[in-house]
């Protein structure tokens, strides 16, 4: 699935805006590994959203996205495309060998 986030900004000054990304399930699965214990979301069959590709507007602070998994930026005036993305939504089903 592909999409984009388009914003209109008419804020005075230079405020920093921040969006959080809810990737907790994916981060937990990576942290525990796919062969983890009973609490592993990958083994539970819970839905997982995996972002395959992101392209950000030049106002986005990429370092904060990489470290904090948040989109932090000072928006330009008017309408702009904040980001484009491609993601997959699926259920992870693993069988024990």
Domains of the chain, by residue range, sit at 2-91
Task: Calculate mean pLDDT across residues 73-80.
Answer: 95
**pLDDT attached to residue 36:** 42
Who contacts 46 (Cβ-Cβ below 8 Å, separation ≥6)? 25, 91, 92
Please tell me which residue, 65 or 52, carries the higher pLDDT value: 65
Count CB atoms within 10 A of the CB of residue 60.
20
Count CB atoms within 10 A of the CB of residue 75.
19
Domain 2-91, second-level architecture: Sandwich (2.60)
Residue 45 in this model has a pLDDT that exceeds 70: no
**pLDDT attached to residue 49:** 64
What pTM was estimated for this model as a whole?
Answer: 0.62
Residue 7 in this model has a pLDDT that exceeds 80: yes
Task: Calculate mean pLDDT across residues 13-17.
Answer: 92
Who contacts 30 (Cβ-Cβ below 8 Å, separation ≥6)? none
Calpha distance 18→74 (Å, rounded)? 9
**pLDDT tens string 19-36:** 877 655 445 545 554 444
């Amino acid at each position: 699935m592909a999409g984009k986030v388009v914003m209109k900004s008419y804020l005075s000054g230079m405020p920093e805006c921040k969006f959080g990304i809810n990737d907790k399930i994916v981060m937990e699965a990576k942290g525990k590994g796919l062969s983890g214990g009973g609490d592993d979301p990958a083994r539970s069959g819970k839905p997982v959203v995996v972002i395959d590709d992101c392209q950000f507007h030049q106002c986005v602070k990429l370092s904060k996205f990489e470290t904090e998994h948040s989109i932090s930026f000072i928006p330009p005036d008017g309408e702009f495309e904040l980001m484009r993305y491609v993601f997959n939504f699926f259920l992870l089903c693993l069988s024990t060998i």
